[in-house]
């Protein structure tokens, strides 16, 4: 029979009495005290070498790693610039890279050749004659600027330049620039188009062509004809040109 260990006997310092120290009760495996769990940084040091452990962690304890960008398929109507898909980000980078080759504005009236009196008078005959004249378009654009609607002329001219382009790569790039400058709802130069025309443009922009904006160009042309053109004919700008042309004719006579 196995003998039980004798208890430890201790003597009190101030007397010769023997003090019996109680024997500690045996502990079960479940009562064992586990060491504290190491922090993530300490655990990383335990699994790395001495050199790697001395390096600072890549991220502090209070920082949160950004979530990985989810892969998304290109949406079909990304041209409104309100989508955050990866294809739209690539389009923005391409647009920033092509800023230098962007459509240049028209020169000012002073840089254009002075129109003849007959040409100035012909502008009052029809809006088509005004728009087919380079000097007439420049003067009309200056008038639209005073009415804060210059973007209508700029959009119409950009569409004309697009229709004259034959290179498909250039067509794609110019179509994107036109959309972002004049059709996007985020652009400060957005032109006034109805919902039907906008939906048609969004569908056509999946495969841009030289005639993607034909319906929109016609709508803006009609808007300038009915709204801005009558006020241009009665404006001081056009009257001054008529008076200048009349004085030149009298001097020549």
Instruction: Please report, in tens digits, the pLDDT of each residue of the chain (253 residues total).
Output: 555 555 555 555 554 555 555 555 555 555 544 555 655 555 555 544 444 444 444 444 444 444 443 444 444 444 444 444 544 555 555 444 444 434 444 444 444 568 899 999 999 999 999 999 999 999 999 999 999 999 999 999 999 999 999 999 999 999 999 999 999 999 999 999 999 999 999 999 999 999 999 999 999 999 999 999 999 999 999 999 999 876 665 555 5
Q: Which helix (H) or strand (E) holds 177?
A: helix 168-178
Q: Are the beta carbons of 111 and 233 closer than 8 angstroms?
A: no
Q: Following DSSP, what letter does each residue of 76-91 receive, concatenated?
A: TTGGGS---SHHHHHH
Q: Are the beta carbons of 19 and 11 closer than 8 angstroms?
A: yes
User: Which token pair is 230?
Assistant: 């009558």
Please name which of 112, 203, 221, 95 lies closest in space to residue 158, comparing C-alpha atoms.
221
Alpha-carbon distance of 168 to 166, in angstroms, equals 6
Alpha-carbon distance of 54 to 5, in angstroms, equals 49
pLDDT at 244: 85
Rounded (5°) CA angle 99-181-163 = 90
Count of Cβ atoms closer than 10 Å to residue 213 Cβ: 29
Q: Half-sphere exposure of 220 toward its Cβ, with a 13 Å CA cutoff?
A: 27
User: Which token pair is 124?
Assistant: 């009052």
Where does residue 209 rank: exposed (0-12), middle (13-18), buried (19+ CB within 10 A)?
A: middle
> Long-range contacts for 91-95 (Cβ within 8 Å, ≥24 apart)?
91/176, 94/173, 94/176, 95/176, 95/177, 95/180
> What are the residues whose beta carbons fall under 8 Å from the beta carbon of 2, sequence distance 6 or more?
none
Q: Following DSSP, what letter does each residue of 99-120 receive, concatenated?
A: GGGSPPPPPPGGGSPPPPHHHH
pLDDT at 59: 46
Q: Are the beta carbons of 215 and 91 closer than 8 angstroms?
A: no
pLDDT at 90: 55
Q: Half-sphere exposure of 14 toward its Cβ, with a 13 Å CA cutoff?
A: 0
pLDDT at 114: 82
Please name which of 131, 136, 107, 132 lies closest in space to residue 120, comparing C-alpha atoms.
136
Is the pTM of the predicted complex or chain greater than 0.75? no
What does DSSP assign to residue 6?
Answer: P
């Amino acid at each position: 029979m196995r003998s039980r260990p004798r208890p430890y006997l201790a003597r009190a310092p101030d007397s010769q009495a023997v003090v019996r120290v109680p024997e500690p009760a045996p502990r079960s495996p479940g009562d064992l005290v586990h060491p504290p769990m190491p922090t993530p940084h300490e655990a990383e040091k335990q699994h790395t070498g001495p050199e790697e452990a001395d390096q600072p962690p890549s991220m502090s304890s209070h920082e949160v790693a950004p979530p990985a960008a989810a892969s998304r398929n290109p949406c079909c109507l990304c041209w409104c610039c309100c989508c955050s898909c990866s294809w739209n980000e690539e389009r923005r980078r391409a647009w920033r890279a092509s800023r230098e080759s962007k459509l240049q504005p028209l020169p000012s009236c002073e840089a254009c050749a002075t129109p003849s009196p007959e040409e100035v008078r012909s502008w009052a005959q029809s809006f088509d004659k005004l728009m087919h004249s380079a000097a007439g378009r420049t003067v009309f654009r200056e008038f639209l600027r005073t009415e804060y609607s210059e973007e209508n002329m700029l959009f119409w001219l950009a569409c004309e330049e697009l229709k004259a382009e034959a290179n498909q790569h250039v067509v794609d790039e110019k179509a994107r620039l036109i959309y972002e400058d004049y059709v996007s709802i985020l652009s400060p130069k957005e032109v006034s188009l109805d919902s039907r025309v906008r939906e048609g443009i969004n569908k056509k922009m999946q495969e841009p062509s030289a005639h993607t904006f034909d319906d929109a160009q016609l709508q803006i042309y009609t808007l300038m004809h009915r709204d801005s053109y009558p006020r241009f004919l009665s404006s001081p700008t056009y009257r001054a040109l008529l008076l200048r042309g009349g004085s030149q004719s009298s001097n020549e006579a």
